[in-house]
């Protein structure tokens, strides 16, 4: 049986090998996406992948691209008109291919890039598969800092569950600040209702910048590595 890290390696390499010359590729954030980026860099260095452009979803992607020596491939979202494919991980995936993303705090950039791409491919190991969203991880909600308590109360009144401000305990202490200068609420709830509907309602709450619910309507493919090493695609 493969470990979680080994599953991440296999699925990331599988999808990195699918990328083609001349593509504009949106690169997601998080551990599995960084492994995907590493395999892309290896293909570029070997001359197997040419004339690609990489659109970052976060400062993490930009930093790691520099470490890998492929920072020259990075283009900012305002520099391109179309994204051919976005590849990103997920914190949870339900049977309908709805997602929770943003555990690392990059949900807004991820959603902008992933939703803008012609094709959005999700890469996960089998531990990320759940029957209902919220089973293992909270739903991140990016909020304007000065209004976080108002948003917290509003979400809890409308849907139930419990929201808490994400606090850092190491390094910079205090609330986590996103790439956009905002705070994050972690909303603990099992999403028994339609996640697509909840996503729309959350976005309509004043003070909410974005939520970590990603609708199946925007997901093209979910590719999973199982613990026995098999790569499968959710149908």
- The string over 51-86, giving b where at least 16 C-beta atoms fall within 10 Å of a residue's C-beta and e elsewhere, is ebbbbbbbebbbebbeebebeebbeeeeeeeebbbb
Annotated catalytic residue 196? no
Question: Of 48, 62, 92, 110, which one is the catalytic site residue?
Answer: 110
Residue 186's nearest CA partner among 104, 110, 131 is 104
Tokens representing 140? 């991140």
What is the helix (H) or strand (E) element at residue 163, kind and residue range? strand 162-165
Cα-Cα-Cα-Cα dihedral of 200, 205, 208, 211, to 10°? Answer: -30
What is the helix (H) or strand (E) element at residue 38, kind and residue range? helix 31-45
For residue 135, the SS3 value is: coil
Rounded to an integer, what distance in angstroms lies between the CA atom of residue 117 and that of residue 100?
18
Rounded to an integer, what distance in angstroms lies between the CA atom of residue 111 and that of residue 109?
5
Rounded to an integer, what distance in angstroms lies between the CA atom of residue 224 and that of residue 156?
33
What is the helix (H) or strand (E) element at residue 158, kind and residue range? helix 148-159
Rounded to an integer, what distance in angstroms lies between the CA atom of residue 96 and that of residue 215?
9
Known catalytic residues? 110
């Amino acid at each position: 049986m493969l470990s979680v890290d080994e599953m991440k390696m296999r699925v990331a390499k599988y999808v990195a090998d699918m990328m083609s010359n001349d593509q504009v590729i949106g690169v997601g954030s998080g551990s599995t996406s960084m492994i995907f980026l590493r395999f892309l860099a290896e293909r570029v260095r070997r001359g197997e992948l040419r004339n690609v452009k990489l659109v970052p979803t976060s400062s993490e992607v930009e930093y790691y691209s520099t470490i890998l020596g492929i920072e020259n491939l990075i283009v900012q979202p305002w520099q391109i008109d179309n994204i051919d494919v976005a590849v990103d991980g997920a914190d949870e995936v339900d049977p309908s291919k709805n997602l929770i993303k943003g555990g690392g705090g990059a949900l807004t950039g991820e959603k902008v890039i992933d939703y803008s791409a012609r094709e959005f491919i999700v890469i996960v190991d089998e531990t990320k598969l759940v029957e209902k969203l919220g089973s293992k991880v909270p739903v991140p909600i990016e909020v304007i800092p000065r209004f976080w308590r108002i948003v917290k109360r509003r979400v809890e009144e409308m849907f139930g569950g419990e929201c808490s401000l994400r606090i850092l305990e190491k390094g910079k202490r205090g609330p986590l600040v996103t790439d956009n200068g905002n705070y994050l609420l972690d909303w603990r709830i099992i999403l028994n209702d339609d996640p697509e509907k909840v996503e729309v309602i959350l976005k309509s709450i004043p003070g909410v910048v974005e939520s970590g619910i990603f609708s199946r309507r925007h997901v093209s493919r979910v590719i999973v590595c199982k613990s026995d090493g098999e790569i499968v695609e959710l149908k």
